A and B are shown apart, each in its own frame.
Chain A
């Protein structure tokens, strides 16, 4: 994907250095603000695709920062990082205008996947297309039909939604937590690799008998739908 411009608002210098370095290594442009006010000033200047905001910041806390931006009609997607990981904290974060919430400590792959999804959403047209395509795999959202190379693939409703989410973000890494949150709308720890089992079931229907795999496992991160024939 094309490089994103990111603003990381984080007061812990080491964490900030780690994040900017990690984002730059995968080809994105990352700026850093060390406190809430600086972050607000830089975000207001605009031009960022996604804001990554620590919740507890000196001078202006993360939630107030986002709230202030939203009052200025600045709708830049914002992801909140927080050491508070309880159910109600996430709800508070989203209510303040955050678009996603990631509790600390997190895996960078998880953060990257979420940030890329947020950046993509910013560029996407207002209305979702009625069909998603990845190579010869076609998902018709209105007819609830999935075909590959013209053959219909029969899916259960939940499998359909799983594939729909993966195809909506085709070419992007989607983590297990993202799937659990977006396909099942659960925000708790399922204790086991439930998602893997669901994906492998889906994969057995979508990829079995075809030359190229569509659903790929991204090691240490999650899954990605990509037409591997090209």
Chain B
């Protein structure tokens, strides 16, 4: 039994706890706090300034009145002052007046009670007062100023600040209301945004879950708004498409491998069974076993080729690359296959420019070239009356080095040229020849790993396979030892064998 890993909780959790965990909620909370603080600050500032303005106004009114009254007292004495104060006291308004004797006895005014000691210090202060003796329990608030008149009499002029306090109350209430409103609106907005985003994200994870469960055709919904979530969904969909393609490719390869490995395995098994059942002599058994071994060897070769292609496609062999003398490799491979060509009734011609260098792996490039030459020898026989020549060429073309193997055989129809690079693809025309259909796939892998290009061209008639590899400058030291016969393939040919 295997343990199953649950990627996400399956059922949709309760809405509210999810809401508190969402980014939308957290963001809204932070914004809410910032706006509240800002609003409180602005309103507080306005309130503070308004109060200051009112205080200044009150003060200047008081100052003006005191100056006026003091002037009256200086001109008309205390009696005139008392008269004016009594008259003004009777008028309705916020103004407060009090005139006392030097010892504090009330002479005139509309103030009944003031905190003791108020009259002892001259100048401005804020006090609680009552206009009548009944109102002592509920004192009002006022800004007052005490002035000492000639003769020790005291004059108190003040102004009730009820107006100012009412303004303060209004502003405080405004702050409270706006904070409450911000909070309510913020909560609503947060809930709305979070719910909208949440639902889309929940839908996305639901779809993703479906895909994980095996619905490989499933794709994320696109709202069409072009926002971040849409872009995310688009990218994820593109990723799913790519994965789908890779899986389809993999599936095809697996099918191919299954088919192309099962066939020789079946043959192997049948041969063994047949030998067991009907072989009469030791020699017949031996022959059957030889056949079985040969079949097994072929399987091993297919396996090695497949592994090599997989490895090439994964692109992991690049750390074994070096500066290569390509001319030497091409000449070498041409020389290796020359007798084989002759045996097949073909002439192998080598047309290799000297001193071509690439950065690569000698074995891989050799293998790729060997595969191409082998293909040309197998399939490049001219149909009738054609030139029985296979040409292996290497030359420099601008920044590239082009290796080519050309034959005058039937060639490959244009519509099949892309297909033959796939694994196990064998054109009907080639079925009669031994092979597995892996040669060109391997060549394509080698070329890709070397950052080159593989082209299949019409040789009119025949096929020309071209490998273009980026050229590099040769290493400065390139002097082969003359005594080494390995490098003397360019020597005059004593036996008169056709040159490469």
Contacts and interface: CB of A to CB of B under 8 A. Distances in A.
5 contacts: A107-B293, A161-B485, A190-B374, A191-B374, A198-B336
* B290, B305, B320 pick with most chain A CB within 10 angstroms: B320
Contacts of A201: 339
Interface string B365-380: 0110011001001000
B485 A186 contact: no
A194 B337 contact: yes
Interface string B270-301: 00000000000000000000100100110011
Given A88-B319, A105-B300, A161-B485, A186 B363 contact: yes
Contacts of B311: 86
Interface stretch (A10-18, A52-60, A152-160): A152-160
**Main secondary structure on chain A at its contact with chain B?**
loop
Interface in A124-148: 144
Interface of B: 290, 293, 296-297, 300-301, 304-305, 307-308, 311, 317, 319-320, 332, 335-337, 339-340, 343, 361, 363-364, 366-367, 370-371, 374, 377, 439, 485-486, 488-489, 491, 493-495, 497
A184 B332 contact: yes
Interface residues of A, number: 30
Contacts of A87: 317, 320, 361, 363-364
Interface string A194-209: 1001100100000000
B489 A91 contact: no
A210 interface: no
A85 interface: yes
Contacts of B339: 194, 197-198, 201
Given A157-B486, A191-B439, A86 B361 contact: no
B361 to A, nearest CB: 6
A189 B304 contact: yes
Nearest to A201: B339
Given A91-B320, A161-B486, 11 more contacts: A87-B364, A105-B296, A157-B485, A184-B332, A189-B367, A189-B370, A190-B336, A190-B374, A192-B374, A201-B339, A220-B293
Contacts of A158: 335, 485, 489
A122 interface: no
Given A86-B317, A157-B489, A160-B485, A188 B304 contact: no
A187 interface: yes
Contacts of A160: 485
B337 to A, nearest CB: 6
Nearest to A86: B311
Nearest to A84: B307
Nearest to B371: A191
Contacts of A88: 317, 319-320
B494 A86 contact: no
A157 B488 CA distance: 7
Contacts of A220: 290, 293
A191 B370 contact: yes
